Amino acid sequence: MNRLKIIFFLWVFTIISCAEKLDSTTDESMQESIKAVSNSLDDNQKKEFEEALQTIMLSNLDVSSLMNGEDGANEMISDVRQKLNGLTASDVIKEGNRIQTEIELKKKDQAKIEIAELLETQKKAKKNKEKLKDFEIVKSRFYKRKKGSYYITYEPTIELTVKNGTDQAISRAYFEGTLASPNRSVPWLKDEFNYEISGGLEVDEEKNWKLAPNMFSDWGTVEPPKDAILTVEVLRLDDANGDELYSVKIFGEKEQERLTELLENYPEFSSN
């Protein structure tokens, strides 16, 4: 029985020692041996082998070396050849898997950081939205004023009455206006605009503004029916120094899409 075991282990050792190995001493020998090793594998192993080779080669891709011209590229190729020389298909697959696992761990760590940042920004945007409610839109109206006596034009006008209920003076306000008719799901116009307040708007101060958007903008070309109503939402406020005070624009559709994408791939970080 012991003799049979010895024969069996010698047979296994012979197979392993005779396995096709990569010879990457030169570019030509590397190409030939890669082909020879690949041809010795079944379809599933061949796919694993080729994917692992690609992973190893890409892991050695160094943009800074490529920027050094031909010398840098040759040095990078030499490093790959040294890493592959003498490896069997099994060795290549193991190394490819190791590198891929390392890459996935790095991606996961980076995703964790990015998710935490996005969730924090989302939380801040929600708090800002509550703060922005203190800047009250008392009245909002849209119409077109007739202008001129000889050459008549119709100037778009956004009329707002606002009251600053925040605890700071405001130098500029940013809005989103929606012009829509009752019982219609699609608005005639939805667009952002902002207004730099001459002299600012002090705490508890109320003012009426008549803003004139560019007549060639969407506000100038829209032709809403008489029953259309303008509703206005405050998106951002700047303080007396012109610095951002509160804003919901820090977390918009782009940020939400990115957060959703990351959480689909890494749901374990959703509660962080």
Question: Is pLDDT of 106 > 60?
Answer: yes
Q: pLDDT-derived band of residue 31, with 50, 70 and 90 as boundaries?
A: confident
Q: pLDDT-derived band of residue 8, with 50, 70 and 90 as boundaries?
A: very low
Q: Are 27 and 77 spatial neighbours (Cβ–Cβ below 8 Å)?
A: yes
What residue ranges define each of the domains in the chain, with the CATH number in brackets? 2-87 (no CATH), 133-241 (2.60.40)
Concatenating the DSSP letter of every residue in 156-205 gives: EEEEEEEEE-SSS-EEEEEEEEEEE-TT-SS-SEEEEEEEEEEEEE-TT-
Model-level pTM?
0.70
Q: pLDDT-derived band of residue 16, with 50, 70 and 90 as boundaries?
A: very low
Mean pLDDT for the chain overall: 87
Question: Is pLDDT of 146 > 70?
Answer: yes
Q: pLDDT-derived band of residue 58, with 50, 70 and 90 as boundaries?
A: confident
Q: Is 250 helix (H, G, I), strand (E, B) or coil?
A: coil
Taking only the tens place, the pLDDT of each residue in 179-189 is 999 989 999 99
Report how far residue 189's alpha carbon sits from residue 133's, in angstroms, rounded to the nearest whole number.
23
Give the H or E element holding residue 211.
strand 206-211
